[in-house]
Amino acid sequence: MFPKSPTKRALSSPTAMRNAKKPRLAAAAMAGARDVLGEGRWKAWPAPSQNLKAARVFMKECAELRLPTIIVPDKDADGLSSGLILYRTLRGLGLPPELIHVHFLAKGANVFSTSERARLEGLAKSIGGDSGMDDTPGEVRVIFVDQGSRGSPPLLQPILKEGRIIVQTMVIDHHQSDDFPEASQVLTACKSPPICTSSLLTYLMCYPLERTIPESCAWLALLGIFGDLGPNEINFGDVEGDWPVSEEMLRLRDTIKVVKKKALSDAVSLLNAPRRTPAFNVWSAWDVLLGADGPSMVTESSELRNLRSRINEEVERCSRAAPQFSKDGRVALLRIDSQYQVHPVVAIRWASRLKGKDLKMIMVVNPSHHPDPNLVSFSCRIPANLRKLPETAQPDLQRLLKEYGAKVDDGFLARVGGDYARGHKQATGGIIPGVEFELLVSQGMDVSTKAFSRFGEASVDGQKKIKDFFSKG
Ligand SMILES: [Mn+2]
């Protein structure tokens, strides 16, 4: 029996090239062997094993000690599904629903912002209750999931009482970072390639904790995977691929067969709708998800469907912006103006259309999204055709942004602060003062004010020149 011819992805990945002789394939075929997560090649996957263990202890303690627990999930499909896996696991472990609190961040805020710390502190105090003798609040647990990572002071003050920590926090994440908040327990996938989503990390962490989780939360793990990586990034069960072929991953493969890719993709775009609207009512997505036992129950929600069609109109409108190019040809900049959070979607759209010899980054800036009128939001993506390259050969946009920032002047990177170039190497962005953004555009990237100046060198959809593209409307 000959091994199948390797897929494009397998060929292009460094791991697959290392395994060119496919000893794994032969071994798997002979023994029906499966990868075991936490062992062998997958020793530190989806995250370092000591951190996975510690996270499981954290979860069990919440339930066994009946501690009020706050889940703070990010607002997108990956964050929401991760949050619900945590919720279901805590419930399964016996923590009553009145002790589980879900908290969403305010529009434009992140977990590191002062306003959010204050809101969370208030919530922790109100649910922690009375510890007994003095005004020290009772013990509380907080789990931050999919919120992004950076070095910071404690996300919540770990109040000490008689040698006991009253507020214990855990960060579950997959965003790239070398630094983490002080005093938090951390479970991150960001140093365990291939980097999985928060939903998959959370699922694999919770998998052995309670017997119903593997079955009941598989579709939730898939929602986050489809949301962050798209429907085709993981070839479940492919022994030649980059991802493990383990019991857990095969269960996910089987779940896709039952619930169907289309329903999962549809549910993802519906769950992502509320947070893109000016009203920013993330609760409406959470409530639908909480009541669902599969993606089709999400796709039936007329509330979410209405929000999504409004957003689609907005994406259409904003996608008509014309790109400007940096002098070095590496950046295509699009300016849009919308209260909706559509800049990432417009960036993805243009990333699938634009190609250029030197083009590395599609950047979409939107000054009207953030509640603070002095701040602009922007999203950056690599051109879709470069995604075929091995990951190490793909442009590192976080580095590129820092390089342009350093060209503005010595103080730029310090002035724009921690909300600049966060996220992932191939999908990043930021929220910075508009004044600084314009310096970045003019002095850092040297973007020509003539929108069409480099049209001859970039093409849309690989064939048509941009001029033709626009003339067709
Ligand atoms: Mn995520």
The mean pLDDT of 60-86, rounded to a whole number, is: 97
Using the predicted structure, report yes or no on whether residue 471 has a pLDDT greater than 70.
no
Q: How far is the CA of 210 from the centre of ligand 1 (A)?
A: 24
So what's the pLDDT on residue 258?
97
- Comparing 107-111, 144-148, 181-185, 442-446, which segment has the lowest mean pLDDT? 107-111
Q: How far is the CA of 153 from the centre of ligand 1 (A)?
A: 22
Single-letter amino acid, residue 116 = E
Neighbours of 338 (CB within 10 A): 20
Q: How far is the CA of 224 from the centre of ligand 1 (A)?
A: 7
* Distance of alpha carbon 431 from alpha carbon 425, whole angstroms: 17
Q: How far is the CA of 148 from the centre of ligand 1 (A)?
A: 8
- Burial string for 127-141 (b: 16+ CB within 10 Å, else e) reads bbeebeeeebbbbbb
* Distance of alpha carbon 261 from alpha carbon 264, whole angstroms: 5
72 dihedral zone (left: phi>0; alpha: psi -120 to 50; beta): beta
So what's the pLDDT on residue 2?
37
Q: How far is the CA of 228 from the centre of ligand 1 (A)?
A: 6
Q: How far is the CA of 5 from the centre of ligand 1 (A)?
A: 32
Q: How far is the CA of 21 from the centre of ligand 1 (A)?
A: 34
Using the predicted structure, report yes or no on whether residue 322 has a pLDDT greater than 50.
yes
CB-based burial of residue 274 (10 Å sphere; 0-12 exposed, 13-18 middle, 19+ buried)?
buried
pLDDT band, residue 457 (cuts 50/70/90)? very low
Q: How far is the CA of 431 from the centre of ligand 1 (A)?
A: 18
Using the predicted structure, report yes or no on whether residue 196 has a pLDDT greater than 70.
yes
- State the pairing for strand pair 69-73/140-145: parallel
* Distance of alpha carbon 212 from alpha carbon 89, whole angstroms: 9
pLDDT digits (tens, 9 = 90+) for 105-145: 998 889 998 999 999 999 998 888 665 556 666 899 999 99
Listed ranges 12-26, 440-454, 456-470; the one with the highest mean pLDDT: 440-454
- Burial string for 405-436 (b: 16+ CB within 10 Å, else e) reads beebeeebbeebeebbbbbbbbbbbbbbeeeb
Give Cα 190 to chain centroid, integer Å.
11
Angle 77-92/282-290 helices, nearest 10 degrees?
A: 40
Decide: 369 and 431 in contact? Cβ < 8 Å. Answer: no
Per-state percent for the chain, helix, strand, coil, to nearest 5 = 45, 15, 40
Using the predicted structure, report yes or no on whether residue 359 has a pLDDT greater than 80.
yes
Q: How far is the CA of 459 from the centre of ligand 1 (A)?
A: 31
pLDDT digits (tens, 9 = 90+) for 36-47: 999 999 999 999
- Comparing 281-295, 317-331, 332-346, 446-460, which segment has the lowest mean pLDDT? 446-460
Q: How far is the CA of 106 from the centre of ligand 1 (A)?
A: 18
Q: How far is the CA of 80 from the centre of ligand 1 (A)?
A: 9
- State the pairing for strand pair 361-366/375-381: antiparallel
* Distance of alpha carbon 251 from alpha carbon 97, whole angstroms: 28
Q: How far is the CA of 389 from the centre of ligand 1 (A)?
A: 22
Q: How far is the CA of 146 from the centre of ligand 1 (A)?
A: 5
pLDDT digits (tens, 9 = 90+) for 136-170: 668 999 999 999 999 999 999 888 777 778 899 99
Residues measured by CB to lie within 5 Å of ligand 1, the ion: 78, 146, 198, 228
Using the predicted structure, report yes or no on whether residue 313 has a pLDDT greater than 60.
yes
In sequence order, the 6+-apart residues with CB closer than 8 A to the CB of 76 are 146, 227, 228, 271, 272, 275
DSSP state of 140: E
Going by C-alpha positions, the residue among 5, 133, 143 that lies closest to residue 61 is 143
pLDDT band, residue 328 (cuts 50/70/90)? very high
So what's the pLDDT on residue 422?
87
The mean pLDDT of 29-58, rounded to a whole number, is: 90
CB-based burial of residue 458 (10 Å sphere; 0-12 exposed, 13-18 middle, 19+ buried)?
buried
Q: How far is the CA of 55 from the centre of ligand 1 (A)?
A: 18
Q: How far is the CA of 374 from the centre of ligand 1 (A)?
A: 27
Q: How far is the CA of 432 from the centre of ligand 1 (A)?
A: 21
Using the predicted structure, report yes or no on whether residue 300 has a pLDDT greater than 50.
yes
pLDDT band, residue 91 (cuts 50/70/90)? very high
CA angle 65/60/191 to nearest 5° reads: 135
So what's the pLDDT on residue 255?
98
Single-letter amino acid, residue 52 = L
* Distance of alpha carbon 148 from alpha carbon 314, whole angstroms: 27
Which fold, 49-271? Answer: inorganic pyrophosphatase (n-terminal core) (3.90.1640)
So what's the pLDDT on residue 460?
54
- State the pairing for strand pair 167-173/140-145: parallel
Going by C-alpha positions, the residue among 188, 245, 239, 230 that lies closest to residue 381 is 230
Using the predicted structure, report yes or no on whether residue 94 has a pLDDT greater than 80.
yes
pLDDT band, residue 456 (cuts 50/70/90)? very low
So what's the pLDDT on residue 4?
37
- State the pairing for strand pair 331-335/361-366: parallel
Q: How far is the CA of 471 from the centre of ligand 1 (A)?
A: 37
Mean pLDDT of all residues in the chain? Answer: 88
Using the predicted structure, report yes or no on whether residue 59 has a pLDDT greater than 90.
yes
- In order of 10, 29, 235, 244, 388, the CA distances from 21 in angstroms are 12, 14, 20, 17, 22
- Comparing 1-5, 69-73, 114-118, which segment has the lowest mean pLDDT? 1-5
Q: How far is the CA of 434 from the centre of ligand 1 (A)?
A: 26
Q: How far is the CA of 199 from the centre of ligand 1 (A)?
A: 7
Q: How far is the CA of 217 from the centre of ligand 1 (A)?
A: 17
Using the predicted structure, report yes or no on whether residue 405 has a pLDDT greater than 90.
yes
Q: How far is the CA of 29 from the centre of ligand 1 (A)?
A: 34
Q: How far is the CA of 53 from the centre of ligand 1 (A)?
A: 21
Structure tokens at 354: 């634009």
CATH code assigned to 321-471: 3.10.310.40
The mean pLDDT of 276-283, rounded to a whole number, is: 95
- Comparing 156-170, 291-305, 352-366, which segment has the lowest mean pLDDT? 156-170
The mean pLDDT of 387-391, rounded to a whole number, is: 89
Backbone angles phi, psi at 171, to 5 degrees: -110, 125
Q: Which residue has the higher pLDDT, 138 or 447?
A: 447
pLDDT band, residue 11 (cuts 50/70/90)? very low
Q: How far is the CA of 75 from the centre of ligand 1 (A)?
A: 9
Decide: 92 and 210 in contact? Cβ < 8 Å. Answer: yes
Q: How far is the CA of 247 from the centre of ligand 1 (A)?
A: 23
pLDDT band, residue 450 (cuts 50/70/90)? low
Q: How far is the CA of 445 from the centre of ligand 1 (A)?
A: 28
* Distance of alpha carbon 187 from alpha carbon 173, whole angstroms: 6
Q: Give the strand order in the sheet containing 354-356.
A: 354-356, 458-460, 464-465
Using the predicted structure, report yes or no on whether residue 18 has a pLDDT greater than 60.
no
Q: What is the pTM for the complete model shown? A: 0.81
- State the pairing for strand pair 464-465/458-460: antiparallel
Q: How far is the CA of 147 from the centre of ligand 1 (A)?
A: 8
Q: How far is the CA of 71 from the centre of ligand 1 (A)?
A: 15
pLDDT band, residue 262 (cuts 50/70/90)? very high
Q: How far is the CA of 155 from the centre of ligand 1 (A)?
A: 19
Q: How far is the CA of 297 from the centre of ligand 1 (A)?
A: 22
Backbone angles phi, psi at 285, to 5 degrees: -70, -45
The mean pLDDT of 178-195, rounded to a whole number, is: 96
What residues does each domain of the chain span? 1-32, 49-271, 321-471
So what's the pLDDT on residue 5?
38
